[in-house]
Amino acid sequence: MSSIDRAGSPPSISSGAQSPETFLSEMSTSSLGASPTPLNSDRVTAIKELIHERPDLVPLFSSSVFVDDQIARLCIIADQIQKNANGQLTFSKIPLDNGQMRSLITWSGGKYLLLSHVKNGHDALLGVGGSKKVKGAIDLDRGCFKAVAITKEVWNEDTEKRNKFWNQISANAETECALVRECSDSENIVNVDLDFKFHSVEKDIRKHYQIMDYYNGGDLFSQIELGVIPVYYQKKWIGEIAAGLKSMHDKGILHRDIKMENILLKEDVACIADFGFACKLTDESRMRRIDGTSNHMAPEAFRGIFSIKSDAWALGVTAFQLITRGFFVPHGDFKHIVQTVMSFTQSTIDQKITAKIPEEFQPLLRGLLMIDVNQRWDMVQVLQELKKIS
């Protein structure tokens, strides 16, 4: 096992490095006793309240009668593992009172109990995208819910191809986390607590884990499915996305995939997520790749030209959808979308804005959806314009 260095590359750990299961089963049956005194009543209470808020977590416990004792026992086990590891990263399987085994991750900065699929109608799987799955977890220090994004390698009998693909997705995941951390001073960027690579020797499979805050409001797309968004929130969320982008752009980072599905809500605060296509302006290799969601891409992006103004166009497309609940560029095959975007004139864009967008938002949308990159607004101009909207 290797120690965590959050500022540098994440460590790799192996499930074959040691076997914590023996130590844990001895500890849970003899050392702890049946009803240990809660080590920290506030911490136990916070976890208990989380369980009451989320019925899907109840199956973690053998009964509802001695939940306090079971939580305390779980916390003591996690504390002991963390202490014995001297702050190093551990990935263990631990037994719960109901007889189930659950994965536990500990490091110097926290302890997380990963949740598996639950059979009573609830599911720990929060989302799936590409080669990534997102599961739930309990933060045992803070008594809150966390999201864990897991990128798994794809099996291939050809070892060379398998390693090449793993190295690629692993490097992309590391770059994504590094860029997110660089923007950690913004409340409008998702927060990643920890990321690391894990090699299960038993199953001979490699995974990359990202542990991040859980965004209980879902994404913006789920919000427009519920109905028309009030003007107050339209303005608020467009402004928060712009503030997050400004923080990124000030650091020379492009997102390159701004869209409704990549904006998460924590309570009612919008945060930019999914840095899978993000890159530094100085990263010539990634900047040359035509990445993004095609019907959100700026005209110049289809020619391989990206800048902070490309993100501005994507924000304009996202704002259009947030306000109208309709697509600025409808879905279709890639060729059709390219033809549609490249055939735009400023006149046709202005006509569309006039027809669909309320008057108070029209200057904002026109500024973001300028075909001429030099005339297209940056985030400073966006934030200034939003102050004028009542």
Contact of 87 with 108, CB cutoff 8 Å: yes
- pTM, two decimals, is 0.84
Contact of 48 with 71, CB cutoff 8 Å: yes
Give per-residue pLDDT as tens, 277-287.
999 999 887 88
Mean pLDDT, to the nearest integer, of 252-267? 95
pLDDT at 158: 83
Task: Based on the fold, state whether residues 178 and 289 are members of the same structural domain.
Answer: no
- What's the chain's average pLDDT? 83
Task: Based on the fold, state whether residues 199 and 281 are members of the same structural domain.
Answer: no
Task: Based on the fold, state whether residues 209 and 230 are members of the same structural domain.
Answer: no
pLDDT at 58: 64
CATH code, 201 = 3.30.200.20
Task: Based on the fold, state whether residues 317 and 190 are members of the same structural domain.
Answer: no
pLDDT at 3: 30
pLDDT at 69: 82
Provide the domain limits for residue 249: 220-386
Domain boundary among 179, 213, 247: 213
Task: Based on the fold, state whether residues 101 and 232 are members of the same structural domain.
Answer: no
> Number of folded domains in the chain?
2
Domain boundary among 213, 246, 276: 213
Give per-residue pLDDT as tens, 179-235.
999 999 999 999 999 888 888 777 778 888 999 999 988 899 999 989 899 999 999
Domain boundary among 180, 213, 246: 213
- Tell me if 63 is assigned to some domain: yes
- Tell me if 6 is assigned to some domain: no
**Is the pLDDT reported for residue 301 higher than 90?**
yes
Give per-residue pLDDT as tens, 97-123.
777 788 899 998 899 998 865 444 444
Task: Based on the fold, state whether residues 315 and 356 are members of the same structural domain.
Answer: yes
Task: Based on the fold, state whether residues 94 and 156 are members of the same structural domain.
Answer: yes
State which amino acid sits at residue 181: R
